[in-house]
Amino acid sequence: MAGSRPKCPKELSPEARKIFKSAAAELEKRRAVTSADAIILELLASTVDKYRRARKHVADEGEIVEYTRLSKTGEQITTKAKNLWLGIANEAETKITALLDRLGMTPMNRARVRPTKDQNEDGIKFL
């Protein structure tokens, strides 16, 4: 299959668009991207954006935060618990690693990705 850079979806946030374009450019340098990779790159970009936002919350609020809840009698009780953003960050981290693996962007899977074929001006493919 001939290589071509996928188009960045307009629905992505400005930060996610930067991630999409950066990943697509890196894959293009390796001749390992086609327009069919747009969806997986979109997933990667939006997940990395979510991960970064969640990590910022964790950095600002801490890993353990105070929450107020109501007891059975309706009394307000303040308790400490794991920051909910930490779970979002951890889940995104797992997904990012899987997406990077599928794109061949990790050391372990880099060699598995076959380069795309080039096209000359006449549209004839060659290696």
User: What is the tens place of the pLDDT at every residue in 80-113?
Assistant: 999 999 999 999 999 999 999 999 888 777 667 7
Q: Calculate what percentage of the chain has a pLDDT beyond 90.
A: 68
Say if strands 118-119 and 125-126 run parallel, antiparallel, or are unpaired. antiparallel
Cβ neighbors of 119 (< 8 A, separation 6 or more) are: 2, 125, 126
How confident is the model over 38-58, as pLDDT tens digits? 999 999 999 999 999 999 999
What pTM was computed for the model? 0.79
Q: Which residue has the higher pLDDT, 31 or 59?
A: 59
Q: What is the mean pLDDT of the chain?
A: 87
Tell whether the model's pLDDT for residue 120 goes beyond 90. Answer: no
- Tokens found for residue 47: 């997940």
Residue type present at position 6: P
Nearest CA among 74, 65, 25 for reference residue 45: 25
Compute φ and ψ for 69, nearest 5 degrees: -135, 170
